[in-house]
Structure 1
Amino acid sequence: MASTSSTVRVSSLRAEYRSDTGFVPTPTPRLSWKSETPIDGWLQAVAELTDGDRTTSLESRDSALVEWPFAPLAPGEVRAVRVRVTGVDGSASDWSEPLELTGGFLAPGAWAGRMIGLDNPATTAQPALLRTEFTASGPVARATLYATAHGVYQVEVNGTEVDDEILKPGWTAYQFRLTHETTDVTSLVTEGTNAIAVTLAGGWFTESFGFRDSAAPFYGSDPAVALQLEIVYVDGSTQTVLSDEGWLGTGDGPLTASSIYDGETFDATLAIDGWSTAGFDASAWTAVRVDGKFPTPSPRSAPAVRAIEEIGVQEVITSPSGRTILDFGQNLVGTLRITVRGDRGHTITLRHAEVLENGELGIRPLRRAKATDHYTLAGGGAETWQPRFTFHGFRYAEIDNLPGELDPADVTAVVIHSDMERTGWFESSHELVNRLHENVVWGMRGNFLYLPTDCPQRDERLGWTGDIQVFAPTASYLYEADGFLAGWLEDLALEQKAKGGVVPFIVPDVLGDESATAAAAAWGDAATVVPWVLYERFGDVGVLGDQYGSMKSWADTLIGIAGERYLWEGKFQFGDWLDPDAPADFPADAKTDPDIVASAYLFRSVEIVSRAATVLGNERDAETYAAIAATVRRAFLREYVSESGRMMSDAQTGYGLAIMFGLTRDGDERQRMGDRLAFLVRSAGYRIGTGFVGTPLVAEALAVTGHLDVAGRLLTQTENPSWLYPVTMGATTVWERWDSMLEDGSINPGEMTSFNHYALGAIADWMHRSLAGLAPASPGYRSILVAPRPLPEFDFARTSHETPYGLASTGWARSDHGTIEIDAVIPPNTTAEVWLPGAREFVRVGSGSHHWSVQADAEAPARGEVSLETPLSDIIDDPEAYAAVWTTIAAHDDDAARVFRHHTQWTPRRAVGESLFQLPPFVRQNVRARLKELSDSRRSAS
């Protein structure tokens, strides 16, 4: 019997890609919704959609990114959309709550606002105040503000800021693409005289980019803003207010200097009362500068940057030099909000850094960035200030010249980032791994600020393509990153087109001749990998279609570079960037040959283009690129892989690439590669041996070839280098280098060191998919893969993810009865493939809550006797014995113990005693005695 309508409910109805505004950037926004029901195995059979004028029925399971079924929206038009669904069992929902959508775009050719700025600025990038007044002739029905900038801005209408967005309009490839904000200001416009006022600063547009002495402004030296206000009156008449030559401006406001890298200077004694309200006397202000042509702005589809969280002072520190340093307990991105009291004209200085070194702010990693703010008091009581057109990456802040005693409650760290919806969570019994996962989350938060950056603190903060290429899967799990990354990909395609098909190292590209037309593997491959990830994780066919030209152009460029040998070789490469064995100042010197990395990515990108062509229905391209990919595979195997499966670069990254990209001759060779990879990881003492390229691959390559135990040891290793070493050193974000901070607490001596860099945090995707066991089995999680892989080092692990269909969760826990208990929640309108530990076949289940119990693997046998004759491989697999050896050496010589731990090859054909030959005889005897003591205790315990 069919269920009553109340058992099914439509929720979370939304339009692409933003849920933080009712304005949509396109006349035909795709629609998504979720169904909630207690009915197990529920699947949608029919969806009805209405906009009030028309109702359409879709006989489909589709409920994510469904094509707009109505007449296109007109600019400024408002429609209320509702959905109701019927299941295959006949159960039906009521109509959903209406989703009101407004066309947040202008008609083609309708943009008329000019780009205006301060005339004759006194300094480069001088901040400005700009204003005009207009008369509203009657009651206002609707007023919509469209605004963009060469720089960053905020608008006030009649003295009130129009929104809570920060650093608008963000950073795009300004010469090719500008985005505008669309803001409803109906409540701020009144009948009669009104004022529009803009505070303007340079932001990214006037920043100096480049390395060392080459830094210089790339876009321009002076900021400008363009806007237009569209008013619709109650009587149906309209009015447009534009930025043009009639505006007035001044550079004599309280914001005297502003820079992304250097910080802000604000002099409250220069505040101008009433400047943003109607009737202000601006006779001393001057006419504005009107700039020339610029790209017609388009609506921004990614969410805005906002203040997301506030963190108070955790500790007040007095440094060895007597300075006052505030510790917020978390490396974050944002600014400080301070409340101070003091004399008029007194100036306070705020400096920011991620770490302390020798008790003082560790500012050397900032390079040219000053990361310093100055505030001059107006005097006369408590005054609160927060910088508004800069941001800093910091955990520590130094306050100089504070009047009176510091009250920690007067200082707050305000966390800012793109306001994406959080969608992914992870928890386990391993507290260090939990902290690692939190570090990954904080690293993403700090570096997803209008574009995916490499770091948020030094004189860089650039959209490095390689970093997001490896991190995109993790990002797509943790946050609703589809719109954010789709917007960035638009800039990638534009920059790539300008370079004749080559994807630059960074997007937007501000390196100029430094990047020239060089192509770099794993970096430029963001053009193919990131759109494919968005398709896999969000089911976003639209982004594949939009980016297909870029994807194909990149593949064609690589095919041209490869030539008749079908190998990418002998060219500039970043390679396996920041391999832990690379010298501090030569981060590209990796164990894996860069040509292997390049040719592997040549195959990867060409294959992805073939797959994308299939999805898009372009069978000719699919066949063409599939054939080229097969040729590249044969060339790769011929050149880099011996008949025995040994790679020419016998290193972790090489095997990870071959296994995970499918660069093997057959299953047997894949297994031999996995075995060799496990050998290399163990012989390295279960320490990580990969850089940016290999890090996302190595754990999964081990797991899929039957070496889950090795992957577990690798993940939970705490010695340097490892994922958990930074955690043991107090890290609260992921570091750029495995050893950004050395074991003695000093900062890595390399010229390039950051303590907030998400690339190495790509391991979190494996924690979600493999350790806890939740992944998409088909694009967009329409079918879900439940495949937990319990590790001996864990008692439980669980994860949850807000899929396009609803919240999915999986988890496992060890019981007291020798079983592993597995739970999963599958959202309505999806199914799941469930692979239980040890199973040879999967079971398919529908939506609902599920539980399974499986027998745990037998416990490992008790450790046996150890001696100087025990193979090194057995010692490293025996944590007690390993600790016994190295701590005994350390009792004599810490440096010798460090060499033993970091440089021993833990192989099965060499005894531990052979590795101690350089130590004094008495140390060898002490080690022998300590191992005997351990063996004796084990015998007595058994």
Structure 2
Amino acid sequence: MLAIKKIYMDYETAPVGVSHMPQFAWELVSDKKNVKQKSYELQIAKDADFTDLIYNSGKTESEESAHVYVQGTLENAKRYFVRVKAADGEEETLWSDTASFVTALAGANGEWEEGAPAWKAPFVSAETDDSYKNASKGTYVRGNFEIKKEVKEAYAFTTALGLYQFYLNGRKVGEDEMTPGWTSYRRHLLYQTYDVTEYLQKGINGAGAMLAPGWYKGVMGLTKARNNYGDQTAFTMEIVVRYTDGTTESICTDTSWTGCDSPVVFAEIYDGETYDANLEIPDWSKAETPSGSWKPVQLVFFDTEVMRAQYAAKVHVMDRIPAKRIFKTPAGDTVVDFAQNMAGRIEVTASGKPGDVIELHCFEVLDKDGNVYLDNLRAAKATMKYTFAKEGTVTWHPTFTYMGFQYALIVSYPGEPKAENFTACTLHSDMASTGKLECSNPLLNQLHHNFLWGLKSNFLDVPTDCPQRDERLGWTGDAQIFCRTATYLMNTYTFYKKWLRDLEVDQTPEGGVPHVVPNIEEGRTDGNWLLSQGPHSAAAWADAAIINPWTMYLMYGDKDILKRQYNSMKGWIDFMRAHAVDYIWNYKLQFGDWVALDAEEGSYFGATPNDLTCTAYYAYSTGLFVKMAKALGKDDVAAEYEELYSKIVKKFQDTFFDAEGNMTAQTQTAHIVALYFQLTPEKYIEKTVEGLKKLLAKENGHLVTGFVGTPYFCHALSQNHALKDAYDLLLKEDFPSWLYQVKKGATTIWEHWDGLKDDGSMWSADMNSFNHYAYGAIGEWMYRAMAGIEADPEQPGFKHAVLYPRIGGNLKYTEGNYHSIYGNVGVKWEVQGTQILLTVQIPVNTTAQIRLDQAKAVVKSDGLTFTKAADYMSAEAGSGTYHIVFEQ
């Protein structure tokens, strides 16, 4: 039976706030093999009955079930309904379940490109004097409006300078948290769209927002500056109401609104939140005139040309984790343990009387004696505090901050705290889960858990380095290193698309890419020893401008992201070209193989020379840019940069290999990048692999790599006939290794291989995060090699997959799944004596090449024809589930 399981619009199932006609895709399922779509019919309507169509493709002969583009006229602030049916030449599906999307505000001329909206509502602020500039308190703003007729539908468009929560008639609107997120506000501000039809009432309505400093004006960054983007929080709202009589009305913030201080007396990203219930104003956002010291708002100018609609990947509470225990430390402190390192907040319930206080300090780890360890938070206070106004029981959580923690120190609590009084609420961008991986080794399963939770802890609107200390910045290197792993784990398309926009607008006029995006450190680098040496354009960090779009193209098959980022990508390549000397690229501050273990004592910088790592990335990114230019049909550009690429590669080979084919830098990372980036002269590949293996043996089989070498280490081995060495490296359990952390009880990935030493002591508190996903990039190898789920660059997005599981590591079985835009790609292999039982799943409307690792003979082919290749036997397969048995 052929059926349509799911419809996607711009890779989301129900986007709200679409500022252009989205692209469409649908997931087909069938109980047959070799099924390909022959035709489809797609309809878009203004009503759920599809009587008022704005688009009808009719029966369209096409195999394409993703990246389907249509023409149609969209209205402002309107929900549209979508359905599709498809046929494979033998069967036709029923109409799919109805999906929908909601449009945002069109531009000034009614255009529906992804540009600035025609924004009418002013920003209003309760911060009306200078006393607020250096304050961290929260405020309310509110206003009333009248609904005189029966409402058909209504949509609110809201955003803020600072963090906000939006209320109508006493109810919080939506489930979003930490809105409007973190962007390069003066160049890029997101607004949110809400269906508020059910929130409105006939007669007088109340609207309002709670505001707090957040990333916009709070203390942020390595330089600990305040007011990085502005010194005044403000809120703006436009509600478009469509009445049953066909008329439309817009309701906006204006000078009739009033504001006052809120019960949030302190809120900062790093330091936490303090809430005084004595300052609560009952029914403050309802239509009735509330009590309190309300005053006229001040209008705040903001350039609305930089505003864009956010249609998905907004921050939500994603998990609720009950406390596992409450215990006393040897030092006598009372501590709550959630048994999982994470990012978010704690919801606490307590009974108290006026003046009683709940105060918790969040932290990650216990010291070697089992006591509270706060030093690695540096200056971050990570504190939540609530003061009772009256006798009773309350359930409270902070609203305008988040913490990275596994534990909480109970500083103050009325009564006897019990585990059931505390619930951890994780916060991260809402992204659908796409990847699963399990094997016979429980330590590897825990490692998978750990890098997944590293993602969940650090994808809070921006791909940050860590969620706990006074940093939490969008370091481009971390984001680049982990991008492929992240995209296996979750649908990161919208998340990265948003962040790459900030990367683009924060590039220097010459094309240089900041170390952190959003670039909160711009113009404020003198106070930091690191950034003062050069605030942008470090190899492997800035290359996120190239590698992240390439990864998205590879995983989703989407050319839109290449078009969007084209100028950014070209700008970065041209920056390197402008600053290269005879094709050797190096520039100001370079992080190199950051925190590699072969660094000199007391240094963060690994032993691999910057000339080598920089030029390797210069070549790698230029080569990827050539591929993307070709994908976009820019053949002249591709030819120009292909010539550049050839010259960089030749210079790399001439410079970093001697006459005997030895690498001039005898480090693991030098060999890794030369191999993985395909920069090694062909005649020296085997010698380079042997050189890498010798360097590995010199360390008793251990890695000593940092941020540059680690992500590609296992790939460099397994792709060059050294699979056993790759598995041996992965499966090391002593320091330094991935599984060392697991054996030490880690539930996330650490910043340092020895963040917690064998004797229980800590690496330097100055930079010792226990929730730092970068080294979790090993997940990419586990999906691509262990499970063998690989995208084909010639037919990206898993339109054609390469399923090549590499059998090894004394594993009895490995099962991996990746939910692509077409459906689930699945691989499971089991070892039974000398035979391998292989099960693969290929989605409808796609094909795959199945490779049998080191196969000597095929015992069961399930109708496929396998032929011998160098290290494997292979067969092309259409959609369906296949059960194969082969001898190894």
TM-score calculated relative to the size of structure 1: 0.87
AA paired with 2:147?
A
Deviation at residue 283 of structure 1 after TM alignment: 7.4
Query: Which runs of 5 or more structure 2 residues have no equivalent in the other structure?
Result: 45-52, 109-116, 526-530, 856-868
Deviation at residue 373 of structure 1 after TM alignment: 0.9
**Which of 307, 313, 318 in structure 2 is aligned with 1:308?**
318
Asked whether 1:806 is paired with 2:823, we answer yes
Asked whether 1:431 is paired with 2:433, we answer no
Deviation at residue 499 of structure 1 after TM alignment: 4.3
Asked whether 1:772 is paired with 2:766, we answer no
Partner of 1:722: 737
Asked whether 1:658 is paired with 2:674, we answer yes
1:735-770 C-alpha deviation (Å, 9 max, x unpaired): 111111111112212521101111100000100110
Partner of 1:846: 878
Deviation at residue 329 of structure 1 after TM alignment: 0.4
- Mapped partners of 2:105, 2:7: distance in 1: 21
Partner of 2:65: 63
Partner of 1:894: none
Within-5 A mapping of 1:4-19: 7-19=1-13
- Mapped partners of 2:574, 2:498: distance in 1: 23
Asked whether 1:689 is paired with 2:707, we answer no
**Which of 3, 20, 23 in structure 2 is aligned with 1:30?**
23
- Mapped partners of 1:30, 1:230: distance in 2: 25
Within-5 A mapping of 1:414-453: 414-453=425-464
- Mapped partners of 1:469, 1:448: distance in 2: 13
- Mapped partners of 2:384, 2:146: distance in 1: 39
Partner of 2:47: none
Partner of 2:119: 111
Within-5 A mapping of 1:118-517: 118=126, 119-120=128-129, 122-123=131-132, 124-211=135-222, 215-251=225-261, 253-281=262-290, 284-296=293-305, 297-357=307-367, 358-496=369-507, 498-513=508-523, 514=525, 515=531
- Mapped partners of 2:278, 2:854: distance in 1: 72
- Mapped partners of 1:683, 1:517: distance in 2: 36
Partner of 1:542: 560
Deviation larger for 234-243 or 606-615: 234-243
> What SS class does the counterpart of residue 179 from structure 2 fall into?
coil
AA paired with 1:234?
T
- Mapped partners of 2:60, 2:636: distance in 1: 30
AA paired with 1:542?
D
Partner of 1:560: 578
- Mapped partners of 1:283, 1:710: distance in 2: 69
Partner of 1:46: 39
- Quickly say closer, same or farther: Cα 1:22–1:210, change in 2 above 3 A: closer
Deviation at residue 583 of structure 1 after TM alignment: 5.3
Kindly indicate whether the alpha-carbon contact (under 8 Å) linking 2:281 and 2:291 is maintained by their aligned counterparts in 1: no
Deviation at residue 381 of structure 1 after TM alignment: 1.8
Partner of 1:97: 97
- Quickly say closer, same or farther: Cα 1:283–1:449, change in 2 above 3 A: closer
Partner of 1:933: none
> What SS class does the counterpart of residue 710 from structure 2 fall into?
coil
- Mapped partners of 1:101, 1:571: distance in 2: 47
- Mapped partners of 1:648, 1:204: distance in 2: 45
- Quickly say closer, same or farther: Cα 1:812–1:283, change in 2 above 3 A: closer
1:369-408 C-alpha deviation (Å, 9 max, x unpaired): 1100111113322111011111000000011221211121
Deviation at residue 18 of structure 1 after TM alignment: 3.2
Within-5 A mapping of 1:559-578: 559-563=577-581, 565-569=582-586, 571-578=588-595
- Mapped partners of 1:53, 1:560: distance in 2: 49
Kindly indicate whether the alpha-carbon contact (under 8 Å) linking 1:580 and 1:737 is maintained by their aligned counterparts in 2: no
- Mapped partners of 2:772, 2:97: distance in 1: 41
Deviation at residue 121 of structure 1 after TM alignment: 6.4
Kindly indicate whether the alpha-carbon contact (under 8 Å) linking 2:380 and 2:469 is maintained by their aligned counterparts in 1: yes
1:120-177 C-alpha deviation (Å, 9 max, x unpaired): 2644232101110111111111211101111111111110111111011101110101
- Mapped partners of 2:809, 2:165: distance in 1: 54
TM-score calculated relative to the size of structure 2: 0.92
Query: Which runs of 5 or more structure 1 residues have no equivalent in the other structure?
Result: 1-6, 857-942
- Mapped partners of 2:222, 2:844: distance in 1: 52
Kindly indicate whether the alpha-carbon contact (under 8 Å) linking 2:125 and 2:259 is maintained by their aligned counterparts in 1: yes
1:780-804 C-alpha deviation (Å, 9 max, x unpaired): 0001111111113311111001011
1:450-503 C-alpha deviation (Å, 9 max, x unpaired): 11111111111111101111111001100000111011101110001x443100
Asked whether 1:830 is paired with 2:846, we answer yes
Kindly indicate whether the alpha-carbon contact (under 8 Å) linking 2:121 and 2:237 is maintained by their aligned counterparts in 1: yes
- Mapped partners of 1:194, 1:451: distance in 2: 35
> What SS class does the counterpart of residue 497 from structure 2 fall into?
helix
AA paired with 2:545?
A
Partner of 1:640: 656
Kindly indicate whether the alpha-carbon contact (under 8 Å) linking 2:184 and 2:519 is maintained by their aligned counterparts in 1: yes
1:580-606 C-alpha deviation (Å, 9 max, x unpaired): 233575212x12112111000100111
Count of matched residue pairs: 840
- Quickly say closer, same or farther: Cα 1:822–1:283, change in 2 above 3 A: closer
1:874-900 C-alpha deviation (Å, 9 max, x unpaired): xxxxxxxxxxxxxxxxxxxxxxxxxxx
Kindly indicate whether the alpha-carbon contact (under 8 Å) linking 1:17 and 1:301 is maintained by their aligned counterparts in 2: no
Deviation at residue 553 of structure 1 after TM alignment: 0.5
- Mapped partners of 1:31, 1:640: distance in 2: 47
Deviation at residue 688 of structure 1 after TM alignment: 1.4
> What SS class does the counterpart of residue 768 from structure 1 fall into?
helix
1:828-861 C-alpha deviation (Å, 9 max, x unpaired): 11111111011424211111111222224xxxxx
- Mapped partners of 2:226, 2:302: distance in 1: 23
Deviation larger for 529-538 or 200-209: 200-209
Deviation at residue 39 of structure 1 after TM alignment: 1.3
Deviation at residue 48 of structure 1 after TM alignment: 1.8
Bigger fraction of residues in helix: 1
AA paired with 2:878?
G
- Mapped partners of 1:659, 1:307: distance in 2: 42
Partner of 2:758: 743
Deviation larger for 104-113 or 380-389: 104-113
AA paired with 1:494?
V
Kindly indicate whether the alpha-carbon contact (under 8 Å) linking 1:655 and 1:674 is maintained by their aligned counterparts in 2: yes
Partner of 1:931: none
> What SS class does the counterpart of residue 854 from structure 1 fall into?
strand
> What SS class does the counterpart of residue 217 from structure 1 fall into?
coil
Kindly indicate whether the alpha-carbon contact (under 8 Å) linking 1:495 and 1:508 is maintained by their aligned counterparts in 2: yes
Partner of 1:923: none
AA paired with 2:363?
A
- Mapped partners of 2:252, 2:591: distance in 1: 47
1:297-345 C-alpha deviation (Å, 9 max, x unpaired): 2111441111111111112221222111011100011111011011211
Deviation at residue 24 of structure 1 after TM alignment: 4.3
> What SS class does the counterpart of residue 637 from structure 1 fall into?
helix
Kindly indicate whether the alpha-carbon contact (under 8 Å) linking 1:332 and 1:446 is maintained by their aligned counterparts in 2: yes
Asked whether 1:785 is paired with 2:810, we answer no
Within-5 A mapping of 1:592-603: 592-603=608-619
Deviation at residue 683 of structure 1 after TM alignment: 2.2
Kindly indicate whether the alpha-carbon contact (under 8 Å) linking 1:177 and 1:295 is maintained by their aligned counterparts in 2: no
